[in-house]
Amino acid sequence: MLRFGLKQAGRLALGLLGAIVLAALVAAAGSHAPGLSAYANIVVARLVAFGHLDFGTSAITANPAWDDLARRLPVTLELLGFGAVVAVVIGTPVGLLLSAGRVLRAGAPLLQIVAAAPVFCAGLGLLWLSERVLHWTGAPHDTSFVSALLSGDTDAMAAELRSVALPALTVGAAGAASIQLALRRAVSQAANEPYRRGLHAMGLSRFEVDSAYLFPQVVAGLFRSFGEVASSLLSATAVAEWVFGWNGAADLFLKSIALQDWSVVGLVLLVFAALTLSAEFVGAMAARLLAETERLA
Amino acid sequence: MSAAGEIASAPAPSLRTIIRGAGFIGLGAVGVFVGLADVLARAPANAENVGAPLLAPSAAFPFGTDILGRDMASETLHALAVTATAASFGALVTVLIGGLFGFLAARMPVGPGQFSRWVAGVLSAVPALLLAILLIGLTDRSFAPLAAGLAAAPLAFARAFDRARELSTSRHAEFARATGISRNALLRRDLAYEFRDTFLVSATRALAAVAIILSTVSFLGFGATPPHRDLGLMIGAARDTYFDHWWTATFPAAALASLILCARLAAGLEEGERP
């Protein structure tokens, strides 16, 4: 386990190093260096500055890039958190249901019809349904749910939940698609293991075999797909923030690209890549831990 | 979980073949529509005041009209042609840069091969949509199809790299090397078989991914620019009108979803495989 953990930590460190280099390459794009060597010098200077936790200055606000991002990041993280909850609540039963039995599996391609709609279409559809069918106009996003929770103000909490519902559903739908895919993949791989037939032949019922042996493998498979799920949630967050007018980090990324504020763009990329890589690391470690626990049990 | 016991048996190949066939028929139909867009469309692209603004779907205008009085059926057809053409180009870039280069990189000496795999891994950690927008921001909007293709390439690269590594350590590869077959001959052989077996799957899978990226990029305002409107831009432009005039966004969205659906069905993805 220790060896595996060290290997995964090494992979995470290498990935983060790559993300830092990518951020420096992007941040240096705004320098308009007059040649490759000048550009390389600026990239090196940016890397050194990153080492001192100096991520540059925003070309638009003249604030440190980190300050601009730090103001927006909680909004994105909140949306990601709610989206992840929705994704698990929807994706897990759908994934298990579509993996259960030949008849239901045959229906899995029908899900492609729903999944074929890009995230922004789903967001616009939800917006239309809420306004025109449910006559629910949503609510402005004034504070964060966590702040409302900490203050103990139930009205504020209800207002925040109402405000986050549609964007979280949009992000969650994209995450649910990833989760159900990961689950189906894990079930498909685990179900073909020869031990299942062997144990069944030894007299164990299918339920006993599946709950004791297959289920942990499926959960481990889902853990291993954490990076993939995180990436789809982040991508959907960018679209949801745009559609629903949330001033989060992804929205900052889009506006910074439009205004060529490369220091901020590089920093947002670094943070997003770090989130995905960390999710991959946590997922790999959790999957291994689960496998070790099962082995010891 | 007990019902999962049924899974052990492989899915009926006939069902998968039917699904793939349906996907290819759909893509063929899209191809015909795209090829004949100028003939089938009643009005040329961006022809304003063809009818009164925001007319609901009727016999005269089956998809209605938009806020500038453009025929939505003709506009959807023209935009589908733009999206499908750009996505096809992007998919080709993904297959060539991602799939082919990934396959070749796996056979490079360990240093450059692992380095390129590491680069692909780092780029895969950034959502493809954001990567495409970054590339457009660094270049120009006219490069959007190329940017979308390149953004989807890291995942294709990683997949092809891992597959090539798997092949190079397989028993047939060991046997071939033992019998004196050169590395280049083995690479050519593996490449030819891989191309034959997986090109259509890779290309259609890339088509779906690139179509999603391209349309989303256009929707967010970083892709196609008028007068060359694609489906994402049409849907984005309908944001102010679709609450009261649903047809201004619904038909382009349906056309886009159909294109993506056909491409995904044609890819005939394995159980749980990532699109």
3-class DSSP state of B273:
coil
Residue of A nearest to B270 (CA): A185
Calpha distance B84→B27 (Å, rounded): 10
A116 to B130: CB separation less than 8 angstroms, yes or no: no
**What ipTM score was computed for the predicted complex, to two decimals?**
0.88
Cα of first residue to Cα of last residue in chain A, in angstroms, is 16
Q: DSSP H helical segments within B47-181, as ranges?
A: 72-93, 101-106, 110-124, 128-138, 144-168, 171-178
Residues B139-187 have pLDDT tens digits of: 988 899 999 999 999 999 988 888 888 887 888 878 887 888 887 888 8
Residues A191/B4, Cβ–Cβ less than 8 Å: yes
Percent of the residues in chain B that have a pLDDT greater than 90, as a whole number:
45
Name residues 121-150 of chain A within 8 A of B (Cβ). Answer: 121, 124-125, 128, 131-132
For residue B188, pLDDT over 90 is answered with no
Residue of A nearest to B121 (CA): A15
The count of CB pairs under 8 A between chains A and B is 190
For residue B210, pLDDT over 80 is answered with yes
3-class DSSP state of A53:
coil
Q: Output DSSP code: residue A250.
A: H
Identity of the amino acid at A117: A
Mean pLDDT for the stretch of residues B106-119: 84
A128 to B9: CB separation less than 8 angstroms, yes or no: no
- Phi, psi angle pair for A64, to nearest 5°: -55, 140
User: How close is the nearest chain A Cα to the Cα of B63, in Å?
Assistant: 18
State the angle between helix axes of B144-168 and B128-138 in degrees (0 to 180), rounded to the nearest 10: 130
What is the 3-state composition of chain A as percent helix, strand, coil, each rounded to the nearest 5? 80, 0, 15
Give the other-Cβ count within 10 Å of B265's Cβ. Answer: 25
pLDDT at B3: 43
pLDDT at B2: 43
Give the other-Cβ count within 10 Å of A111's Cβ. Answer: 16
Calpha distance B229→B113 (Å, rounded): 40
Point out the residue among A112, A206, A273 whose CB comes nearest to the CB of B265. Answer: A112
Calpha distance B118→A60 (Å, rounded): 33
pLDDT at A141: 62
Residues B207/B91, Cβ–Cβ less than 8 Å: yes
Return the biggest CA–CA distance within chain B.
76
Residues B245-262 have pLDDT tens digits of: 999 999 999 999 999 999
Residue with tokens 């779907």: B57
Name residues 14-53 of chain A within 8 A of B (Cβ). Answer: 14-15, 18-19, 21-22, 26, 29
Calpha distance B35→B58 (Å, rounded): 26
User: How close is the nearest chain A Cα to the Cα of B159, in Å?
Assistant: 14
Point out the residue among A207, A232, A269 whose CB comes nearest to the CB of B2. Answer: A207
CA–CA–CA angle B68, B245, A236 (5° rounding): 100
A184 to B272: CB separation less than 8 angstroms, yes or no: yes
pTM of the model: 0.88
What lies within 8 Å, CB to CB, of A77 at 6+ separation is none
pLDDT at A101: 65
Residue of A nearest to B20 (CA): A109
Calpha distance A76→B212 (Å, rounded): 22
Token output for A81: 């958190």
Calpha distance B229→B214 (Å, rounded): 12
3-class DSSP state of B80:
helix
A192 to B138: CB separation less than 8 angstroms, yes or no: no
Residues A19/A227, Cβ–Cβ less than 8 Å: no
Length of chain B: 275
B2 to A238: CB separation less than 8 angstroms, yes or no: no
User: How close is the nearest chain B Cα to the Cα of A54, in Å?
Assistant: 22
DSSP states along B169-209: TSHHHHHHHHTT--HHHHHHHHHHHHHHHHHHHHHHHHHHH
Point out the residue among B121, B128, B222 whose CB comes nearest to the CB of A15. Answer: B121
Q: DSSP H helical segments within A206-261, as ranges?
A: 206-209, 215-224, 226-244, 249-258
Calpha distance A233→B8 (Å, rounded): 31
Residue of B nearest to A128 (CA): B243
Residues B100/B206, Cβ–Cβ less than 8 Å: no
Residues B2-51 have pLDDT tens digits of: 444 444 455 556 677 888 888 999 999 999 999 998 889 888 888 888 88
For residue B71, pLDDT over 80 is answered with yes
Calpha distance B116→B124 (Å, rounded): 12
Cα of first residue to Cα of last residue in chain B, in angstroms, is 25
Residues A186/A217, Cβ–Cβ less than 8 Å: yes
Token output for B48: 């304003």
State the angle between helix axes of B171-178 and B183-219 in degrees (0 to 180), rounded to the nearest 10: 140
User: How close is the nearest chain A Cα to the Cα of B74, in Å?
Assistant: 21
**Consecutive sets of 10 residues in chain A, 297 residues long: mean pLDDT of each?**
88 94 90 82 91 89 92 91 93 82 64 78 88 72 72 80 86 90 82 73 75 80 89 92 89 92 94 94 91 75
Calpha distance B206→B263 (Å, rounded): 8
Mutate which: B17, B76, B134, vs A, most A CBs within 10 A? B134
